[in-house]
Structure 1
Amino acid sequence: MPPWPHEEKYLFFEVRIDRYGVLVNGSSSKIMIDFPMYVVEDSTLRVMGSLELNSSVILLLGGLHSISGDMGGGVSSNVYPVLSLPYIFEDVEILSVGDGGRVEVAYNGTFLTLKPGESWNYSYSVVEEFMDGFFNITVTIAVENYGYLSVIGGDSLVHCRCCEIWERP
């Protein structure tokens, strides 16, 4: 396990899946999730806990799920060291990493190349059964290339992106 903060910078790429639900039939038993495991701040990736970082890491993938609206609220996220490509998270496929940190991805037949600092999103609506009701859910898939970041880990800081509250355990 490397010392923290790690001296190297790592390419950080985030896949975010936001689900906003409006109750259309039945009842709403809101759930709350609260497992944010990272935050990006001032060119630094702050990770709750630790990661195995070495020269085999191609990039770090931030996988984030959030819910809001009548379904409940909150964020669950984690950081995954990507050691080989292609790599699939949910339906987003990371195909390659190019010069300067360009990341090539595919989603649902759409192929993209994102340079550091670039992002892309796609939204669609679906009616789904969730808990005790049926919800009209707007799903937004967002991908963002944060570029090369310093990495700091430990158990001292959690940041909840959904409500912008800092907590110190």
Structure 2
Amino acid sequence: MTVIRARNASVAAAPPAAPRKEDQSLYRFEMLYEGATWRAWADTPAELLEALIPEYLTLETPRDRAAARIRLALRLQVRMQASLAMAPELEECTAEQRAVLLGSRETPPTARQWDAPVPLVLVSTFYHPEGRLPRPEGPEGALVWIDPGDAWSLLMSLHQAGVIHVNVRTDMMLPAPEPDGERDGGN
């Protein structure tokens, strides 16, 4: 198992050529991360996640890997929420909505309905069906979910949130990415 990392070229430069494996084949996944300043290539979601969580692949138990994914999700939740809260739309929020947006993340937000002009970033692990809290509802775009349930769901939720960008080679789409069997830290 391996992940290849490289500093991304500047916006003005052409992107680096994709690295090749010993057999000269290309890697299945490519990811841009850290504000597109880095690229990573790998064959599995877990390998790709190694670029975001150093030593992820060396963690011995599914529970340790699940905890590492949750820590990353929480760290990115705080960053994303802080960035979103800097938008001018924060002034249009009610005092209660601002309190939720700007509040501590030591405990997950518990809004049942979210329709504020600033999206609320949440980590799915803490909400139904995985967690004990009721899952908030809201119009499309009002809630941004980070799902650390397994490597692939975390990568895809971060991709959808715009934190990273994942490319998958279309000639390697079948079979679908194997789940890593670690949903909710089980197995």
TM-score, length basis structure 2: 0.24
Q: Which structure has more RCO (C-alpha within 8 Å, separation ≥ 6)? A: 1
TM-score, normalised to structure 1, is 0.26
Greater share of helix residues, 1 or 2?
2
**Richer in strand (by share):** 1
